[in-house]
Structure 1
């Protein structure tokens, strides 16, 4: 499944363009811009499954670094700082990875 089967391709493009600069990524604004924030819990779970590249049931730090590429192939890599901040914001139980419930909570914050 591709992100553009869940979200509007134009919204994805605008969001990726808005965060092209290094250290500019803001997950709250990004989720709002791509339209994920207003999606149902089922659609958010589908997006989670796309982001969980290794199908482990979690989004680990290494997968987070490439999260924008899961929205579009030409998305940039997140910087180490952005990756750590993103993980810190989502990882409520402190296990170093993001589960589907944590992701859903983060998207709808």
Structure 2
């Protein structure tokens, strides 16, 4: 499933352009810009499944680095600093990965 089946392609492009510079990524602003924040919990879960590249039921730190590519294949990688900040913001149980409930809560906060 492509992220464009859940979100507007123009919104995705604008958000990716806004965070094109290294160390500029802000997950809260990004989720709002792509329109994910206003989607239903079911649609947020679908977006999570796109980002869970290995279908493990979690977004691990290594997958998180490439999370923007779930929105567009030519998007940049997150820096190590951005990856750690994103993980720390979402990983409420401290297991080092983001589950679907943690992701949904992060998007909706």
Q: What is the TM-score with the length of structure 2 in the denominator?
A: 1.00
- How large is the RMSD of aligned CA atoms in angstroms? 0.2
In 1, the alpha carbon distance for the partners of 2:49 and 2:25 equals 21
Residues matched between the structures, number = 109
Q: Give the Å deviation of 1:101.
A: 0.1
Structure 1 stretches of 4+ with a deviation exceeding 6 A read none
In 1, the alpha carbon distance for the partners of 2:101 and 2:20 equals 28
Report the counterpart of residue 102 of structure 1 in structure 2.
Answer: 102
Q: Give the Å deviation of 1:66.
A: 0.2
Report the counterpart of residue 71 of structure 1 in structure 2.
Answer: 71
Q: Give the Å deviation of 1:72.
A: 0.3
In 2, the alpha carbon distance for the partners of 1:20 and 1:41 equals 27
Q: Give the Å deviation of 1:67.
A: 0.3
Report the counterpart of residue 29 of structure 1 in structure 2.
Answer: 29
Q: What is the TM-score with the length of structure 1 in the denominator?
A: 1.00
Query: Where in structure 2 are the equivalents of 1:13-52 lying within 5 Å?
Result: 13-52=13-52
Q: Give the Å deviation of 1:64.
A: 0.3
Report the counterpart of residue 89 of structure 2 in structure 1.
Answer: 89
In 1, the alpha carbon distance for the partners of 2:69 and 2:102 equals 21
Per-residue deviation, residues 14-71 of structure 1 (Å, max 9, x unmatched):
0000000000000000000000000000000000000000000000000000000110
Report the counterpart of residue 61 of structure 1 in structure 2.
Answer: 61
